[in-house]
Amino acid sequence: MLGGLTLTGPLRLALLALVFIIVVAMVMLLSNTLMRRAATRARLDEVRGEQTRLTDSASLRGDTLSKGWHRLTEFIERSGISLVDSQGESLRAKLVAAGYTSPLAPKLFTAIRLGLLFLLPSILVGSIILGGSEVSPFTLYLFGVALAIFGLYAPNLFITAKADRRREAIVNGFPDSLDLMLVCVEAGLGMEAAFDRVGREMLHSHPLIAQMLSIVTLELRAGSSREEALRNMANRTQVTEIRSFSTLLIQSDKLGSSIGDTLRVYASEMREKRRMRAEEKAHRLPVLLSVPLVACMLPVMIGVLMLPAIIRVIRELVPALGGG
């Protein structure tokens, strides 16, 4: 009897519809589960990426280096070449200002300079030998010395330019962080909580400011005093505005004055300085534009104005001189 019922049309359609509904429900449930897991994984990857950017785990950044760089410096020093610079403290401060805070960064910097000192002239000599071109010894010596000097001073120029860019980025973003910090302090947060909150809020807009405030927060949580943490922040950034801000907070803490009033006054001064820097750049534009204007447009204008007169003089004076 059951075999006869299974062969009927309505029952077969009902079973197929039931199977279709079950399959669709399972697919939707599985897709929702996978989408939730993908969203959770993406959020975890984003948080992990933010923590990685804050700790600066790049090759020359952060407090730890990869084993390859460490082995390289050890191998060079074991071969008898000293990587200790004679001006270690100033080099260390310059590298820290450029963002390279690792203890081994000065040694790697010296190794890169020595490598470029010998590598660039070697590339020149190798290219000449392989190319088969004939070059006089004096020309080869001259270009070799020029490349060696370039390899010796190019890393310094790179570090200086990077430090200047970092200082400019910090100075441009610091007034915004002061405004957020003032809001946090007036809302009842302490200095440590305000630094932490502002650092997390400015992670995408001003990552250098976020990194600076996060390091200060970690030092305070590790047990450092507020004065020590603020002075370390000023020494790491090598920015005059940050140094003044640290000194101002230290004095306010010692004298017991209101931190909110201090932040409000200093934030106003920073915004005024930023406006003055913008006006200074705007006022420099006419002076900078005068050089290409004089060099490019003035000769053309002189030629356009004087060329008809010169042609007329030639037409009238040359025949007269020739007796025509």
* pLDDT the model gives residue 57: 39
Q: Give pLDDT tens digits for 19-40.
A: 778 888 888 888 888 888 887 8
E strand intervals along 70-228:
none
Q: Give pLDDT tens digits for 56-102.
A: 433 444 444 456 766 777 777 777 776 676 666 778 888 888 878 77
Between the two ends of the chain, the Cα-to-Cα distance in Å is 134
Q: What is the mean pLDDT of residues 264-272?
A: 83
Q: What is the mean pLDDT of residues 295-303?
A: 83
Judge whether 213 and 234 are in contact, CB under 8 Å: no
* pLDDT the model gives residue 93: 80
What SS3 string covers 51-90? HHHHHCCCCCCCCCCCHHHHHHHHHHHHCCCCCCCCCHHH
145, containing H or E segment: helix 137-186
225, containing H or E segment: none
pLDDT-wise least confident of 64-73, 79-88, 200-209, 284-293: 64-73
- Angstrom distance (rounded) from CA 62 to CA 53: 10
| Of the candidates 239, 240, 186, 185, the residue with the CA atom closest to the CA atom of residue 208 | 239
In the chain, where the domains are located? 67-159, 169-276
pLDDT band at 254 (very low <50, low <70, confident <90, very high): confident
**Tokens in use for 42?**
């993406």
Count CB neighbours of 242 within 10 A. Answer: 21
- Angstrom distance (rounded) from CA 218 to CA 234: 15
**Tokens in use for 206?**
């001003």
Burial class (CB in 10 A: 0-12, 13-18, 19+), 125: middle
pLDDT band at 46 (very low <50, low <70, confident <90, very high): low
pLDDT-wise least confident of 5-14, 135-144, 197-206: 5-14
Judge whether 245 and 266 are in contact, CB under 8 Å: yes
Q: Whats the size of the chain, residue-wise?
A: 324
Q: What is the mean pLDDT of residues 222-247?
A: 85
| Of the candidates 313, 315, 198, 166, the residue with the CA atom closest to the CA atom of residue 263 | 198
In percent, how much of the chain has pLDDT > 70? 85
Q: What is the mean pLDDT of residues 95-122?
A: 81
Q: What is the DSSP string of 255-270?
A: HT--HHHHHHHHHHHH
- DSSP tag of 8: S
pLDDT above 80 for 211: yes
Contacts of 63 (CB under 8 A, 6+ apart): 101, 102, 103
Q: Is 62 left (phi over 0), alpha (psi -120 to 50) or beta?
A: left
* pLDDT the model gives residue 221: 86
Tell me the residue type at 222. Answer: A
CA 4 from centroid of its chain's CA atoms = 78
